[in-house]
Structure 1
Amino acid sequence: PTYQKLYKEHKIDISFTPYYHPILPLVCDTDSAKEALPNINLPSKRFVHPEDADKQIQMSVSKFQSLFDSQLYGMWPSEGSISETAASLITDNNIKWIATDEEILQNSAKKSGLNPKEYHPYQLYKHQGLHLFFRDHTLSDRVGFVYSGIDSEQAVDDFLEHIYKIREQFIDNLDNIVIPVILDGENAWEYFAKDGTEFLELLYKRLHEDEYVQAVGMSEYVKEANAVELPSLFAGSWINHNFKIWIGHPEDNRAWDLLYKTRKFLVEFVKENPEYDSSVISHAWEKIYIAEGSDWCWWYGDEHRGEHNDEFDQIYRNHLSAVYTLLNTKIPVELKLPIYSGAVLNKPVMPDGLITPLIDGKRSYFYEWSQAGFLDVSDVGGAMHRVSQSIQKLFFGYDHENFYLRVQFDFNHKKPNPDFRIVIEFSHLKNFNIEIPFGKCNTIKESELSYAFSEELEIAIKRSKILPESFGKILFAVSYYEGDNNIETIPDVEPIELMIPKQDQEMFWPT
């Protein structure tokens, strides 16, 4: 109700993505990935279904109409992914504007035979009737990744300073200058104090009071501004102007091939059974559309290894399997075999966000360590595999003050030796270890070191204790001792290497 009220009062603008968040260009044609990466390895079966992409757009248009009693005016294509075919489908659905990253603009200018240096993200563009905004990469990322680590007033000052510099650059043509600031949904605000409320209230106040800057919604701007024609559009996403995250890796490609085969089965079944229950057929198609969503392949491949990849894999295959189940057909064997090859991981996964866990020796809430880096020892083969290892997983990360470590054990339902202790060996420092005799003392809170052991061991160490300047590269390994006996060291070959940046330079790719 709040969004409906604000939208009707023209106080906010609202855009939708395609319904199940597919990468539209890849659904239209998986070969579109070749435009940015000509040598990319593609699935064995070429997936070419612009009609599915069109359906995903139509479902969003209908949903918007039902919620806001209005025509959907603007769209953020999933992951800023666009191609000429996808843009044409969006236009056909009477959507007036889309947005993506400025790297797509530069490559579109090249594709159009134009000088990229003459094409900047601070103006509105148009391609065959569809208006395009291109995000200011630097300013958007400062909001998304930098401002959470500094004082709100300092952050707002910095934001406006960037705006003023752009204004000065185009002082002779201000009527046609717009600065698109586009973030990855609401992901950024959880890292801000008070979920960004203080920063946003101050930012809006300063923008409202500023005599040189006007805040404007994209739909409003499209109606009044002049647009520069862009003859061609480059196929890519807002991440490195390509689709590598979602296609090209053997896991991604196998996922696409399974989708191809399942969809082909559904089409043939409908042709052979024209009188079949239409509601069941619709349900089966919905499973296909869900499987076309981008989040499945986000977690396949090497880019985003997480603690729950195997679960995402199972859910993806469940959706495809459901097509066969709904139509009373035997599920193919290949849908019962994992796509995710996590068992071959041989290196730690780095953190993808700041963490500030509660040091209480247990998992306090689901997301407490969700953005930590980790090393799953049970999944690592070779020299690290032990039949009776006690340490199962290491989780690690940091915030502006501390380095955090979580050790997950498997004592095979036995009580641990009362003399057991953990030694953290920081090999980037000469002869420096931190010893935790938690077999004798389960909890300690000191100025530079805190830990607690209950279900597992959680540790907080001041960054300044292990890094003289509180930032830089650390090398660490964790050893498990019983008395004087070193039972195991994880990792047992090379230590984990983690780069901890300066406090205002923590940069994580959005997940």
Structure 2
Amino acid sequence: MSHPLYVAFIWHQHQPLYKSPTKAQSGSQYYHLPWVRLHGTKDYLDLILILERYPRLHQTVNLVPSLILQLEDYIAGTAFDPYLELTLRPTEQLCDQHKRFIIEHFFDGNHHNLIDPHPRYAELYNTRLDEGEAWCFTNWQEQDYSDLLAWHNLAWIDPMFWDDPEIAAWLKQGRNFTLGDRQRIYSKQREILGRIIPQHKAMQNTGQLEVTTSPYTHPILPLLADTNSGRVAVPDMTLPKSRFQWAEDIPRHLQKAWDLYIDRFGTTPRGLWPSEQSVSPEILPDIINQGFKWICSDETVLGSTLKQFFHRDGAGNVQNPELLYKPYRLQTPAGDVSIVFRDHRLSDLIGFTYGSMPAKQAAADLVGHLQAIARMQRDRQSEQPWLVTIALDGENCWEFYSQDGKPFLDALYQTLSNEQRIKLVTVSEFLEQFPPTATIPGEQLHSGSWVDGSFTTWIGDPAKNRAWDYLTQARATLANHPEATEENNPEAWEALYAAEGSDWFWWFGAGHSSNQDAMFDQLFREHLYGIYKALNEPIPPYLRQPVEVHEASANSRPKSFIHPIIDGKGDEQDWDKAGRIEVGGARGTMHNSSPIQRLWYGVDHVNFYLRLDFKTAIKLGEDVPPELNLLWYYPDKTMHNSPAPLAQVPDTSPMNYLFHHHLEINLLTQSIQFQEAGEQNQWYPRASRAQVALNKCLELAVPWADLQIPPDSPLHLILVLSEEGHFCDYLPENALIPIELP
């Protein structure tokens, strides 16, 4: 029997619990950050409204309970955040502190897609960029602040709603916004927020949508069961001083999610998105006993479970598709539960890469991958149909798409609606028609998450471990008060659930950072305060100090995929997630006088990116040698390699390594020459589609296709300055740049 290729999209909608347990007053809830409100007007409703236009396509959306509760606070008009308070404040009542906050924070958002399309907003942004924050503070008038307050809120309203008469009038107005305008914009935000849950419920009732849930406040369930589970994937992991073992909290999170779901949607949930797709054998009985029918995780977890790494071919397609593209039945003494595993690369392409491509090209690329999988299914004559699971964050990526992703989704959905060999389904409707035939003993399931199949994003770092120790102490304090039940002391338990959420640990320590790290630190400690306060216990002195010092380090590794526009301007938002290495005056005596101040590097699924910042007043060809050479070193590949094709190269590490690719950039003409090493230490010219631009800085994009390797291959890079083919200097000092996926 010939089956179509079944595809299950799962969109995960989640925000951290921004509500402060210590600042609520007179019936109002204080939120430290505005992202529930702003993402609520931009990302949650339009995603399914676009889908509704294509009734043949079915999908799954996961709504985290703590997100729903926060949305409801804003809908009720009881939630206030500092951004909203300033939006609703008369400009004549803005103090100096308010004005500085507005100048610094009311441009938060991707300027290419949220600011640049709006002339007045872009005018204010470029003024801050060109003149500086101090100039704006000194020179801006009340109307400038009023317009900025209005535009920060307007820009986060999804373009799908721009045909609303009021919104269209504001967009046309452009400037000279009044307090009354800003108040009505806020009312429009609440109106949009109020449609989110009813629309999900209505589309679930028609069968086009399946709505799933997550543990109540998005905790990492395996770590609640036992923080020692971190050592399953990383045996030598440094663990917190105190072992956290409160498996009894797992059914509490699941029951609260279950009850909230029934109350809002009028039916029981079938699917559970384990927070961060984190699973372990220990959490399965509670999930099964609660009544969930299926869960989802990542291909890295399946690979570790089956001891089968999922290699991909040159086009990025999985070489063992019959193992990945099917559901499994997890068997435990408590019963069975189905599990699906997402295609990590296809999910990441939507999340991190397609936003930088033209919409139709990006949609065609994804459909092309699905068609290739469909051909493999047909060629292998599989008895059971395949299910490709594409699961990812459903809110943050759209900021990097034109028009919040609508052109991409329309192009994708239109193509899939006309493609008879591909059928989009909810996970539950596939499982009902094709129950899993493959089984995995529950105790064999790997303990890990979507991040490298481990828990290192949430535990193992000194700051993360310190936070776990604080949480362990607070949890033990609550346990010492058996009289404090959820019925008679809900404040203590709600504070505990909030502190057990995953987001705080994500931001602590190395690996992730934002311009709000200190606020996440404060929120975590506020939730711990709440436990002690509700129990009338003294607050430990250490909770009055940050978990870690929040200072930007000079050097950093890439934090996410980047998609810079190669124009030589060094756009700050294009590179803020890139790796960074300080060079001039920061890496020892050799480079104290280096004309290059710092270098930036990063990747996406299409290109490797490099940026060089020169010191001011530097003259190329005089202060900087005219030739920049990139030399790629591949530590784990067997291939032809050659010495650097330059004269007078020092016989010291790493310059005496053998390299496989060489790209020379003439800084004066911006021309490039690309070579590949061959037999007998020879170099051979190769074509290259690399892009280079030199203006305020040097920016470079080198396609992975030039290097003939996928972007997840380990490789290293060194930069060499030369003149007429003679070695002059190299950087970074005594090291290679490790090019790796963030």
TM value normalised by structure 1: 0.71
What are the within-5 Å matches in structure 2 for residues 11-26 of structure 1? Answer: 11-26=208-223
Aligned match of 1:235 in 447, 450, 456? 447
The answer as to whether partners of 1:61 and 1:71 remain within 8 angstroms in 2 is yes
> Deviation per CA, 1:403-428, whole angstroms, max 9, x where unpaired?
9999xxxxxxxxxxxxxx95589999
Separation in structure 2 between the aligned mates of residue 344 and residue 136 of structure 1, nearest angstrom: 34
The answer as to whether partners of 2:209 and 2:426 remain within 8 angstroms in 1 is yes
1:257 corresponds in structure 2 to: 469
Shift of 1:263: 0.9
1:223 corresponds in structure 2 to: 432
Aligned match of 2:540 in 319, 332, 349? 332
What are the within-5 Å matches in structure 2 for residues 452-463 of structure 1? Answer: none
> Deviation per CA, 1:381-433, whole angstroms, max 9, x where unpaired?
999xxxxxxxxxx9999999x99999xxxxxxxxxxxxxx955899996369x
Shift of 1:346: 4.4
Separation in structure 1 between the aligned mates of residue 619 and residue 217 of structure 2, nearest angstrom: 46
Separation in structure 2 between the aligned mates of residue 103 and residue 374 of structure 1, nearest angstrom: 24
The answer as to whether partners of 2:220 and 2:502 remain within 8 angstroms in 1 is yes
Shift of 1:329: 2.2
1:121 partner amino acid: L
> Deviation per CA, 1:351-373, whole angstroms, max 9, x where unpaired?
5355889xxxxxxxxx9789555
Where 1:179 maps in the other structure, the secondary structure is strand
Where 1:342 maps in the other structure, the secondary structure is coil
Separation in structure 1 between the aligned mates of residue 240 and residue 490 of structure 2, nearest angstrom: 27
1:170 partner amino acid: Q
Separation in structure 2 between the aligned mates of residue 425 and residue 5 of structure 1, nearest angstrom: 64
1:107 partner amino acid: S
1:163 partner amino acid: L
Cα pair distance change 1:246/1:277, threshold 3 Å: closer
1:6 aligns with 2:200: no
> Deviation per CA, 1:238-265, whole angstroms, max 9, x where unpaired?
1100001111111111111111111111
Aligned match of 1:122 in 304, 325, 348? 325
Shift of 1:28: 1.0
Shift of 1:219: 1.2
1:244 partner amino acid: T
Separation in structure 1 between the aligned mates of residue 579 and residue 440 of structure 2, nearest angstrom: 45
The answer as to whether partners of 1:355 and 1:371 remain within 8 angstroms in 2 is no
Aligned match of 1:138 in 345, 355, 372? 345
2:231 corresponds in structure 1 to: 34
Separation in structure 2 between the aligned mates of residue 103 and residue 125 of structure 1, nearest angstrom: 15
The answer as to whether partners of 1:354 and 1:372 remain within 8 angstroms in 2 is yes
Aligned match of 1:208 in 412, 417, 439? 417
2:403 corresponds in structure 1 to: 194
1:490 corresponds in structure 2 to: none
Separation in structure 2 between the aligned mates of residue 382 and residue 206 of structure 1, nearest angstrom: 52
Cα pair distance change 1:372/1:40, threshold 3 Å: closer
The answer as to whether partners of 1:109 and 1:119 remain within 8 angstroms in 2 is no
Shift of 1:197: 0.8
2:186 corresponds in structure 1 to: none
Identity across matched positions, percent:
31
What are the within-5 Å matches in structure 2 for residues 138-177 of structure 1? Answer: 138-171=345-378, 172-173=381-382, 175-177=384-386
1:247 aligns with 2:459: yes
1:464 corresponds in structure 2 to: 693
Where 1:188 maps in the other structure, the secondary structure is helix
Separation in structure 1 between the aligned mates of residue 256 and residue 575 of structure 2, nearest angstrom: 32
Where 1:133 maps in the other structure, the secondary structure is strand
What are the within-5 Å matches in structure 2 for residues 111-510 of structure 1? Answer: 120-128=323-331, 129-171=336-378, 172-173=381-382, 175-227=384-436, 228-231=438-441, 232-268=444-480, 270-271=481-482, 274=483, 281-343=489-551, 345-348=553-556, 350=558, 352=560, 354=562, 371-372=576-577, 430=625, 464-465=693-694, 466-467=697-698, 470-471=701-702, 509=742
Shift of 1:285: 1.1
Shift of 1:226: 3.1
The answer as to whether partners of 1:24 and 1:86 remain within 8 angstroms in 2 is yes
Where 1:19 maps in the other structure, the secondary structure is coil
How many aligned positions are there? Answer: 424
Shift of 1:278: 6.3
Cα pair distance change 1:429/1:203, threshold 3 Å: farther
The answer as to whether partners of 2:304 and 2:446 remain within 8 angstroms in 1 is yes
Separation in structure 2 between the aligned mates of residue 194 and residue 58 of structure 1, nearest angstrom: 38
Shift of 1:155: 1.9
The answer as to whether partners of 2:491 and 2:530 remain within 8 angstroms in 1 is no
The answer as to whether partners of 1:81 and 1:100 remain within 8 angstroms in 2 is yes
The answer as to whether partners of 1:58 and 1:93 remain within 8 angstroms in 2 is yes
1:56 partner amino acid: H
**Structure 2: unaligned runs, 5 residues or longer:** 1-197, 309-318, 566-571, 589-598, 628-669, 671-690, 704-716, 720-731
The answer as to whether partners of 2:222 and 2:229 remain within 8 angstroms in 1 is yes
The answer as to whether partners of 2:612 and 2:698 remain within 8 angstroms in 1 is no
Cα pair distance change 1:77/1:167, threshold 3 Å: same
Separation in structure 2 between the aligned mates of residue 310 and residue 370 of structure 1, nearest angstrom: 21
Shift of 1:27: 0.6
Separation in structure 1 between the aligned mates of residue 477 and residue 376 of structure 2, nearest angstrom: 57
Separation in structure 1 between the aligned mates of residue 450 and residue 553 of structure 2, nearest angstrom: 28
2:262 partner amino acid: Q
Cα pair distance change 1:342/1:396, threshold 3 Å: farther
Where 2:506 maps in the other structure, the secondary structure is helix
Shift of 1:87: 2.1
Separation in structure 1 between the aligned mates of residue 536 and residue 618 of structure 2, nearest angstrom: 55
Cα pair distance change 1:84/1:247, threshold 3 Å: same
1:389 corresponds in structure 2 to: none
The answer as to whether partners of 2:353 and 2:561 remain within 8 angstroms in 1 is no
Cα pair distance change 1:286/1:125, threshold 3 Å: same
2:281 corresponds in structure 1 to: 84
Q: Which moved more, 1:231-240 or 1:160-169?
A: 160-169
Cα pair distance change 1:287/1:369, threshold 3 Å: farther
2:178 corresponds in structure 1 to: none
Cα pair distance change 1:81/1:370, threshold 3 Å: farther
Separation in structure 1 between the aligned mates of residue 287 and residue 264 of structure 2, nearest angstrom: 20
Cα pair distance change 1:142/1:108, threshold 3 Å: same
